[in-house]
Structure 1
Amino acid sequence: MTSQEQPRNPLHGLTLERMLTDLVDHYGWPELGARIPVRCFNLDPSIPSSLRFLRKTPWAREKVEQLYLYTLRQHQRAQR
C-alpha cells in the first residue's frame, strides 16, 4: 500500500521500533511500564527484548500503538 491509500493513518510508515523508542524517550521505562504493565517494560527493559515480546503479542502491540497515538494527539494539542 502506498501512503496515498492510507492518507489519514498516522501510523502508516512507522516501525514498531520507532514508536517504542519515541515512547521510551518521552515517558521513560518506569512510566511506560506503569502505563502498559508488561514484564519487558518493568524488569530489565531494553528495546530489543521489548520488540521481541511485542512482535509475538498482538494485544501488547495494540496497547503500544494506542499509547503512541494518544501521545501524538497530546503533543499536537499542546502545539496549538
Structure 2
Amino acid sequence: MTTTKAKDPLEGVTLETLLTELVANFGWKHLAKEVPVRCFMFDSTIKSSLKFLRQTPWARTKVESIYRAWKLEPPKGKVLFPS
C-alpha cells in the first residue's frame, strides 16, 4: 500500500528565498499585518528581517506558516491577506 504525501513547501527553501518571495508577492505592509514586528513595519529590508527571524522562533514559525498556506494554494475565494 502506497500513501501519497504532499511535499512540504519549505523543503529545500532557504529563509531568505521564502521571505523574498513573500515580499515580492504580498509586500511588507501585508506581512506586517500578519506578523506585527518592527522589521516588517518600519524601514523594512530583507537583511534586517532575516536577522530578526533567525533570532525569534515564534515570528519565523508564523512567516513559515504563511508561506506554506500560500504555496499549498488555498481554496478559491479564500484570501490570505485581506486588504
Query: With structure 1 as the length reference, what TM-score do the two structures score?
Result: 0.80
Match of 1:3 in 2: none
Q: How many percent of aligned residue pairs carry the same amino acid?
A: 49
Q: Any residues of structure 2 matched to 1:6-45 within 5 Å, and which? A: 8-45=7-44
Structure 1 residues without counterparts, runs of 5 or longer: 1-6
Amino acid of the structure 2 residue aligned with 1:38? V
State how far apart, in whole Å, the 2-side matches of 1:72 and 1:10 are: 6
Q: Who is 1:71 aligned against?
A: 70
User: Which of structures 1 and 2 has the larger relative contact order (alpha carbons within 8 angstroms, sep 6+)?
Assistant: 2
Report which of the two has the higher share of helix: 1
* Cα RMSD, aligned residues only: 1.9
Q: Which runs of 5 or more structure 2 residues have no equivalent in the other structure?
A: 1-5, 78-83
Runs of 4+ aligned structure 1 residues displaced above 2 Å come to 7-10, 74-78
Instruction: Give the Cα–Cα distance (whole angstroms) in 2 for the partners of residues 10 and 76 of structure 1.
Output: 17
